[in-house]
Amino acid sequence: MDRSEFRHHGHALVDWIADYLAGSERYPVLARVAPGELRDALPATAPERGESFDVIFRDFERLVVPALTHWNHPGFFGYFAITASASGVLAEFLSAALNQQAMLWRTSPAATELESVTLDWLRSLLGLPPTFEGVIYDTASISTLHALAAAREVAVPGVREAGLSGRGRLCIYCSEHAHSSVDKAAILLGLGHQAVRPVPGDDRFQLRVDALRSALDRDAADGVTPVAVVATIGTTATTSVDPVADIAAVCRDRGIWLHVDAAYAGVTAMLPGQRAHFAGWDLADSIVVNPHKWLFVPFDLSAFYCRRMDVVRRTFALAPDFLQTPEASRGVKNLMDTGIQLGRRFRALKLWMVLRHFGAERIRETLARHMSLARRFAEWVDADPDFERVAPVPFSVVCFRARPSRGVAPAELDAFNERLLDAVNASGDAFLSHTRLNDRFVLRLAIGHLRTSDEHVSRAWELLREHAASLAGRAHQPSPL
Ligand SMILES: *Cc1c(COP(=O)(O)O)cnc(C)c1O
């Protein structure tokens, strides 16, 4: 593609993206394709001869777009709602063009140093002390894997050289509501899935510290070596907050690595009113916060902070001859030393551009607005006799279920809520996901898209009420909203 052709297609593409970012509502949020539909519409082999970009782009619009679930739609309320903001999209475009591979400082001084500057900015916005050094990984799952690998290095001296055989039983402790990335890390680190000890939560879905203490005592008596405790600020299902300060005290007394998973909710530490949820997180050994979740940075970018990055380096650093550079003796960071990957892409560019373009004030305002929309939705649920809320709302996620006063037997409620979810998601205007709590099927509304406004949340509530009423087989009462 020569320069003028690139300009031509590039300009057209930017126009397309500009319309998409402003008008993603014209698409149904949830893709309406059947499994295999896109696959069947595409040739089984790559073309022998190159095709024109116009033809390729027409196929993108005709075949690929209908198979998209639109995470960048303001009616997206599933899982954790996220945003690729315009400044982040531009940064990704630029990052692809620059094609930096930041394994060594010399292979990209810019990516290496911008990563440490932007992570320091974010760290101080989050109110964490400078003793935490940051590194960017792709996802929270990978951040947690690195945290637990470092914890294993401390708990089992010499494991890097000698491996785990003959080292006895090892355990990782977390709440029963912790994210499955803890399980995957245990599997991958050779501890075995059984090494994860799920500690019961209380009726607010927060880890019970008394239960943690007893599990540790019991295991200590059995000769089990504790590797780490994982506390969560903002669990995946209900966004509950574990009592991190108390957990940190337990970990300090027993010399156990504490990892805090704040992948979703961590960014709200920027808000003075939210600080109570974060009490004690500065005592952790490591913390993960995902700017790709609720900081308007396009997927993917996970920020990993560690007070003992020297241990992470001791766990992973391994420089074959061809990767040894003279700068090493001058104290530069080589990003390949802080993880599994050799090559690193230039993710810091989008965090830098998003933080600068928004400014901390606008970010704080947006997070506060999302949380107030969630509280409003929770009030509607609470005030409606045909719905019930099933968990507190510390951030921007509401867990609830329909419970029509007439027309649905209690034993049918799970199936009823499943049908309700399908009906709302089929509307194309809103997309919600579900979870199971106390063995009940529960609906989840997660607010986090930049352009989600009162109208989108009201529309979702309207759809829920309408469909609940019609599924329960009675006339819909117009909403008082
Ligand atoms: C989303 C989430 C994760 C996993 O995030 P990825 O970046 O997709 O790996 C882990 N923990 C919590 C609490 C989360 O909310």
Q: What is the 3-state secondary structure (H, E, C) of the chain?
A: CCHHHHHHHHHHHHHHHHHHHHHHHHCCCCCCCCCCHHHHHCCCCCCCCCCCHHHHHHHHHHHHHHHCCCCCCCCEECCCCCCCCHHHHHHHHHHHHHCCCCCCHHHCHHHHHHHHHHHHHHHHHCCCCCCCEEEEECCHHHHHHHHHHHHHHHHCCCHHHHCCCCCCCEEEEEECCCCHHHHHHHHHCCCCHHHEEEECECCCCCECHHHHHHHHHHHHHCCCEEEEEEEEECCCCCCCECCHHHHHHHHHHHCCEEEEECCCHHHHHHCHHHHHHHCCHHHCCEEEECHHHHCCCCCCCEEEEECCHHHHHHHHCCCCHHHCCHHHHHCCCCHHHHCCCCCCCCCHHHHHHHHHHHHHHHHHHHHHHHHHHHHHHHHHHHHCCCEEECCCCCCCEEEEEECCCCCCCHHHHHHHHHHHHHHHHHCCCCEEEEEEECCEEEEEEECCCCCCCHHHHHHHHHHHHHHHHHHCCCCCCCCCC
Is 281's pLDDT higher than 60?
A: yes
Which pLDDT band, with edges at 50, 70 and 90, does 279 fall under?
very high
Residue 140 CB less than 6 A away from ligand 1:
yes
Instruction: Give the tens place of pLDDT for each residue, 193-234.
Output: 999 999 999 999 999 999 999 999 999 999 999 999 999 999
Instruction: Give the tens place of pLDDT for each residue, 146-197.
Output: 999 999 999 999 999 999 999 999 999 999 999 999 999 999 999 999 999 9
Alpha-carbon gap, residue 254 to 249, rounded angstroms: 9
Is 249's pLDDT higher than 80?
A: yes
Residue 366 CB less than 6 A away from ligand 1:
no
Closest CA relative to residue 350, chosen from 89, 124, 168:
89
- Which CATH number applies to 100-346: 3.40.640.10, 3.40.50.300, 3.40.50.1370, 1.20.1440.230? 3.40.640.10
Cα 470 to middle of ligand 1, angstroms: 36
Closest CA relative to residue 244, chosen from 202, 196, 276:
276
Alpha-carbon gap, residue 121 to 132, rounded angstroms: 12
Residue ranges covered by each domain of the chain:
1-30+69-84+359-481, 100-346
Give the pLDDT score at 396: 98
Cα 234 to middle of ligand 1, angstroms: 10
Mean of all residue pLDDT scores within the chain: 96
Give the pLDDT score at 322: 77
The ligand 1 atom nearest the CA atom of 264: 15
Residue 268 CB less than 6 A away from ligand 1:
no
Instruction: Give the tens place of pLDDT for each residue, 70-85.
Output: 999 999 999 999 999 9
Is 476's pLDDT higher than 60?
A: no
Give the pLDDT score at 474: 63
Mean per-residue pLDDT, 117-128? 98
What is the percent of the chain with per-residue pLDDT over 90, rounded to a whole number?
94
- Which CATH number applies to 1-30+69-84+359-481: 3.90.1150.170, 3.40.50.1820, 3.80.30.20, 3.65.10.10? 3.90.1150.170
Closest CA relative to residue 289, chosen from 173, 121, 150:
121
Is 88's pLDDT higher than 90?
A: yes
The ligand 1 atom nearest the CA atom of 179: 11
Within this chain, domains 1-30+69-84+359-481 and 100-346 share the same CATH topology = no
Alpha-carbon gap, residue 432 to 393, rounded angstroms: 16
Instruction: Give the tens place of pLDDT for each residue, 34-75.
Output: 999 999 999 999 999 999 999 999 999 999 999 999 999 999
Alpha-carbon gap, residue 204 to 195, rounded angstroms: 25
The ligand 1 atom nearest the CA atom of 79: 1
